[in-house]
Structure 1
């Protein structure tokens, strides 16, 4: 997004012009630092994010032997029959039944093997044939999702995502200032809305970076903000604050049933707003009664109208519950229902409309972030945005390589008035207050910058 105009040495300028030049240099310098931190992550996030936009389609293609079946005229077999077939193929403790989302989709039974590792068994719902199995969340797209969030590399690496998201917002803000047209005349659109020169010239890459940056900047900010809820530190703290008292259900929802210490996110993937929701308990005075079976629980969920493709977590203790949950593309259809395992009656029925205002806004943003809320249009628009982010990063790298002095980093020069730089850092620090890890990284970068300047002055 930056234009990086060369600042030629000249005779003393009027104070207002010199101050404007110093401000430009200060912002350019921190835009450069933000790029060093963000651009490697931006490319990784853009590529993995572009793939995950089409997670259902790619999983159905890559795992077609497990995910797809031939539609039959007869009705699907009862879930209990499928459960028995899955346990015969993979002995263990049944954990979850996932109903087919479409007529040509397989059913899925999740089983804990004797070592306690969850295994996803895929079955033809019409014939009861076991199609195969994978480790739970072991599909291609779950791997891509874990790469996207750096979950595969542990909590420290995931903290880097939070830093990158915060710095990307600073990158867009500083880049917008650098892009803002300051010239007048017939050439004022060059590097603002049009690209000049050829790929052999640095001007071409500077203009490409500026134009692509201003077009995709709003998407970068939106994706950074809507991705922040999943971050370790900021997301976790905001989740606690939004849910209040570590309760997990939006304020105002009356919960008049006993609750366990089990949280909904321990049962499997859930929405951000319900991660800390406590799972209710089945009635203690019914323990002498026979519990309902999976078929009866599924029939109840069907009667209640859960969206196709819902998952049913089975009770694992005498006071456990059947939990039906579904998080489809349409965020308004999100729903979690807990059934008493003895009476089969709903204990809690949580819908998207029951979330608090912050929860509804965040869940809507997350659904758009995932490319789900507006169907194919959502996917295509974000795919284009992801490709533009890659172009933004590549053009920045080429532009820097062509500009930098041989053997040097090519850091933009310091402003003449150090007060200007301190003012810019103070403004950036406001973002660090909102996002603590970003603030810590900003402080570290400021120390490194001062050390670098000090070392350079010693050599002079």
Structure 2
């Protein structure tokens, strides 16, 4: 957003204090935009695509993920599907994913010696192998990795946290700049034509007004994946009881392995440790995959659940599913010898904060309210791109020749310091954003110093 004096009558000048505060807010709104807009465009485009991950993957990978439904045909046993997958792709089977619908294929994850993990797709009706991809190698997993900046290393989780914090500051300062202050034009309407800067100012301000709340919601619900804030809140929300939510009794031996290392899991269970199957002295044989799947079916897990296979004598069969319906989220660990559930958790077992954050994540991913959720967030993503583009055009039209066009400092520096104090309080809630704020303050001092030097040399 930019100077709202454009198109405003100049009969009554603003009070000095109000003018100084406006300049201070405008300056930091500019800095926030400079830092965040490239990330917002990337997040909006990849996030908008990922909302329709099932639909897009179903089209792009239809030859692997889709089969013809055969109502009267019995499904091949899970162990037979695994055997077929291993015959086509030699290695060690580590996970079996149940077909989610009558037209879905089964997915068997195979760890190979030379190619890493591979996802092998099998027709559940006849056991025919349809093909394979690298594990998490679908187009939507690629989009998800781009959305989270995971392609660029673990440090990028910190970048996401900083960007989310600055996005919230961007909305807060933008709302102040938009505030009408007795003006009627450009509040919820557009003035002028695209050739004039006032048109782009109004387009930016009005778009920001309608999408600002969504940006704050998406920033807050994206924070759980961040490196510092998300990790600390996860510990606080879920306690230290082996990483399981409060209320879940863990009275079985636990390993040092974490569920998140073995399988995609919910945010609340990222730090959950794996239980161990007791090794029986009398040589009890493992129940096998077919029996494990039958037990998980009898327990009522939602279709499309994944079963992680035990790789050691103390390992367990882990059935997990995270459908759109939060109430159907479930993780069950089975003793590989007796088939007894060692830990059985649902969304209802999470603590109050865990439930709230999981709900926010579900809405963030476009799952909680079905197609309506997807369409509303898609519209928001498109609006965010428009917001960023209009900001770029507006800046380009107002920038001075050969300069960056940083909004002027307020005449009264105390106003600026007061605003910084308020932003510092925000930085305490989001530490990495606070650290980046200090960096921006230092850069701002450098910009001012060079500006004064340039003016002195004229």
> TM-score band, normalised by the shorter chain?
over 0.9
Q: CA deviation at 1:332?
A: 1.2
Structure 1 match to 2:189: 194
Aligned pairs, number: 453
Structure 2 match to 1:304: 299
**Residue pair 1:38, 1:167 contacting (<8 A) in 2 also:** yes
Structure 2 match to 1:171: 170
Q: CA deviation at 1:331?
A: 1.1
Q: CA deviation at 1:241?
A: 2.4
Structure 1 match to 2:40: 42
Please report the TM-score for the alignment, with normalisation by the length of structure 2. Answer: 0.96
Structure 1 match to 2:157: 158
Structure 2 match to 1:68: 66
Structure 2 match to 1:280: 275
**Structure 2 CA distance for aligned equivalents of residues 7 and 244 of structure 1:** 55
Q: CA deviation at 1:386?
A: 0.2
Structure 2 match to 1:51: 49
**Cα RMSD, aligned residues only:** 1.7
**Residue pair 2:166, 2:433 contacting (<8 A) in 1 also:** yes
Match 1:354 to one of 335, 349, 353: 349
Q: CA deviation at 1:11?
A: 12
Quick one: structure 1 residues 11 and 101, their matched pair in 2 at CA, closer, same or farther if it must change by over 3 Å?
closer
Structure 2 match to 1:18: 16
**1:80-104 deviation line (CA, Å, top 9, x unaligned):** 1101100101111110000000000
Matched, 1:207 2:202: yes
Quick one: structure 1 residues 356 and 221, their matched pair in 2 at CA, closer, same or farther if it must change by over 3 Å?
same
Q: CA deviation at 1:127?
A: 1.0
Alignment of 1:13-412 (within 5 A): 17-72=15-70, 73-115=72-114, 117-184=116-183, 188=184, 190-245=185-240, 247-285=242-280, 288-412=283-407
**Ranges of 4+ aligned residues in structure 1 off by more than 6 Å:** 10-14
**Residue pair 1:45, 1:148 contacting (<8 A) in 2 also:** yes
**Residue pair 1:250, 1:355 contacting (<8 A) in 2 also:** yes
**Structure 1, gaps ≥5 residues long:** none
**Residue pair 1:31, 1:175 contacting (<8 A) in 2 also:** yes
| Matched position secondary structure for 1:338 | strand
**Structure 2 CA distance for aligned equivalents of residues 134 and 383 of structure 1:** 28
**Residue pair 1:4, 1:28 contacting (<8 A) in 2 also:** no
**Structure 2 CA distance for aligned equivalents of residues 140 and 111 of structure 1:** 19
**Structure 1 CA distance for aligned equivalents of residues 65 and 354 of structure 2:** 32
**Structure 2, gaps ≥5 residues long:** none
| Matched position secondary structure for 1:288 | coil
**1:370-397 deviation line (CA, Å, top 9, x unaligned):** 0011000000000000000000000000
Q: CA deviation at 1:116?
A: 7.3
**Structure 1 CA distance for aligned equivalents of residues 222 and 282 of structure 2:** 43
**1:160-183 deviation line (CA, Å, top 9, x unaligned):** 111110000000000001101102
**Structure 1 CA distance for aligned equivalents of residues 24 and 321 of structure 2:** 49
**Residue pair 1:34, 1:167 contacting (<8 A) in 2 also:** yes
Quick one: structure 1 residues 352 and 287, their matched pair in 2 at CA, closer, same or farther if it must change by over 3 Å?
farther
Structure 2 match to 1:422: 417
Q: CA deviation at 1:434?
A: 1.3
Q: CA deviation at 1:156?
A: 2.4
Please report the TM-score for the alignment, with normalisation by the length of structure 1. Answer: 0.96
| Matched position secondary structure for 1:284 | coil
**Structure 2 CA distance for aligned equivalents of residues 141 and 286 of structure 1:** 46
